[in-house]
Structure 1
């Protein structure tokens, strides 16, 4: 059996997925290995090797690293990102306004300005960027590998990584493109600890394109840095209403804020924050219609027309680890009433194995196997 490894190196967790027989009609997810991302120890390689060891404890030896096909997606492209994680971890035991301030500054900063401070051109991270508050809107995602390799330990692990290296958002977008080619227009909601991102691959109905205030790309990602379920939990609480949270979870609700909730009370609070993140992120992604005050006719369109979406897929560590993740999605999306998104004829799906990023990096090499495993993770047979 041919094995292929894909590492997802995130801000807090490193996951290594092992796949088998990707070039056949019966591809397999063999197992998943987990470790903390060791950026605070100054070396991503440590966490990666520990995740491989954890994987081997589950499925046995995977083969010689450096020889077995090994791909990577990463969401830590620069040293400044490492510093953000460091600040977050140092403050996580005292969740308060300071955490929100230290981790949500990206919502206020220009992406270009941040890139300039890091001595990297903004196009190294993402192209066609326009800044809104608090949303980043990015069109075609691009990345120069040299900037990924700036993360501590990345040059060392390049000795064992012999496959493609992509930023995680780019990998998810690759998977979204594959879905759109197979079934039609797609929307992906990625709920994580640090941000909630929404991806759409659609041109809408096209009937209002002439009145669109700005032409929209086929594929678009919006990044909600203030909706990270862990890093900006207090922001979500304020958006929901602190009185509502206190009513649902009691006066001591702050003690229930955990990066990895375990008790039923902690899970319940996390579920409510997750639901809010899904709903708010989706509302920000949706475009707006402008009406003539006299005739009430549509005179202009700004943003995304999601009326032709066929599938809505939920992914991300926070959403997929919820025991009722699909229900959270359904209720959150149901509460969004907007003429620019249809509520009928849409399949709501959960990436239960959280594989979109890992499989996205493999789309150009193992398209058939990737599509099969995506459907299995979504619970779709045909």
Structure 2
């Protein structure tokens, strides 16, 4: 059987392959999915990739499979580990962090101001894939970013460095890194003026750098022999899909509850009313990742948030056996109820952390309202992707709870939003596919979402 495009999602535990035909026509089709355990630890991720393609062949009942192109997203080998270093936490450091998260990075460290010896030691221990240096408005403060760059260069880490700070420092940065093995990428400032974010150029470069360097990660060296197109971080691919969909249907959030983390992606400018009272700017496309909220690896964190007694009382059975012997995929009725309750907690907590809030301040001139964080009040669609929110029976009811949550000060989506489910669980694959086949990706996405 001849397949136009395969898209592989190389995860930390599982590699999934999605097959698409008719990509060059007006009627593209999703034709099937295969999966196999990821083989990073065996030193060659292509073993798992070939296993997933074999699983797809069996699912389709074909004797053999040929494919034209193979694209990939990856969160294997620890995903895209980054450290971010800016000047003022609420300004350049935060802007740089937004750019990195939006590109699909896992941020292990954020610093503001001059790096100390303990910071440098921590960077060495983290062994990041990429370091992002920012700091200073354009034509503003220069010295902090220069000093930080010199200290980072002296570590001799031989990893890509991105500079996205004060434009006056660009030549200085090239001079600093000239004699070191680290490759330097110079990008427009992420925070060029007060209250102005410019995260997209940095986001794009992070994905390009990831693609260039992921193939040197342990177990990933042979992946380029098989993959013919781009390789981007899996959360970054979901963001690409979300941005594409927003152009078509309007403001939205996408939630992905996984075994270890819960990701929330929002694409919305918010309301004019809230924008007028925002204390600091927010990007239109924002991603947050909650590393403590997962329904398998981090299940105990979520159980602790609810409380074992309360959980048993709510569900009507003793949950202790399910905590002690927790399976990655629930099968029995009680296992499913247990995971649904954990998923609800993960969804509500992650969205509350992602959303901004309104605060009342009292000053000499009386009471005034200010807003902090991301305004989700204009969101028209809540979309579920990932294993839990595409497979659990009560996935729609879980997402409907978002609009009824909170204490009234959170900037959450309002009643009446439409709940959509990525039924084919292909959103990340379509994000990477959209880099080359935008129209086909959009059609396939709408079909999976039932719109």
Q: Distance in 1 between matches of 2:441 and 2:323?
A: 41
Determine whether 1:292 maps to 2:361. Answer: yes
Q: Residue 310 in 1 paired to residue 414 in 2?
A: no
Q: Secondary structure at the match of 1:199?
A: strand
Q: Which of 285, 299, 304 pairs up with 1:219?
A: 285
Aligned equivalent of 1:69: 69
Structure 1 residues 368 and 108: CA distance shift in structure 2, 3 A: closer
In 1, Cα distance between equivalents of 2:79 and 2:256: 24
Distance in 1 between residues matched to 2:367 and 2:328, nearest whole Å:
47
Match status 1:379 vs 2:450: yes
Where does 1:321-332 land on structure 2 (aligned, <5 Å)?
321-332=391-402
- Paired residues, number: 345
Shift of 1:7: 0.1
Other-structure match for 1:4: 5
CA contact (8 A) 2:252 2:267 kept: yes
Query: Would you say the 8 A contact 2:382–2:399 is kept in 1?
Result: no
Tell me if 1:263 matches 2:266. no
Query: Counterpart of 2:18?
Result: 17
Distance 1:240 1:372, change over 3 A: same
Distance, in Å, in 2 between the alignment partners of 1:236 and 1:378 is 28
Q: Which has the larger Rg?
A: 2
Compared CA separation, residues 168 and 290, structure 1 to 2 (3 A): same
| Cα distance change, pair 292–332 in 1 and its aligned pair in 2 (3 A) | closer
Aligned partner of 2:127 among 118, 121, 131: 118
Deviation at 1:78?
4.7
Residue 188 of structure 1 contacts residue 314 of structure 1 at CA under 8 Å; is this kept in 2?
yes
Aligned-partner SS, 1:69: strand
- How many Å separate the matches in 1 of 2:383 and 2:162? 23
Q: Alignment partner for residue 239 of structure 2, among 173, 179, 188?
A: 173
SS of the residue 2:235 aligns to: helix
- Distance, in Å, in 2 between the alignment partners of 1:126 and 1:342 is 35
Structure-2 change in CA distance of 1:201 and 1:232 (3 Å):
same
Structure-2 separation of matches of 1:242 and 1:175: 37
TM-score, reference length from structure 1? 0.82
Give the TM-score normalised by the residue count of structure 2: 0.70
CA distance in 2, matches of 1:126, 1:350: 36
Give the aligned CA root-mean-square deviation in angstroms.
2.9
8 Å CA contact 1:164, 1:361 repeated in 2: yes
* 8 Å Cα contact 2:11-2:38 kept in structure 1: yes
1:142-161 → structure 2 map (5 Å cutoff)? 142-143=206-207, 144=209, 145-161=211-227
Shift of 1:149: 1.6
Higher relative contact order (CA 8 A, sep 6+): 1
Q: Which of 70-79 and 330-339 deviates more?
A: 330-339
- Asked if 1 retains the 8 angstrom alpha-carbon contact of 2:254 and 2:264, the reply is yes
Q: Paired residue for 1:101?
A: none
Give the direction of change, closer, same or farther, for the CA distance of 1:109–1:9 in structure 2 (3 Å limit): closer
CA–CA distance in structure 2, aligned partners of residues 174 and 191 of structure 1 = 18
C-alpha separation in 2, matches of 1:156 and 1:76 = 14
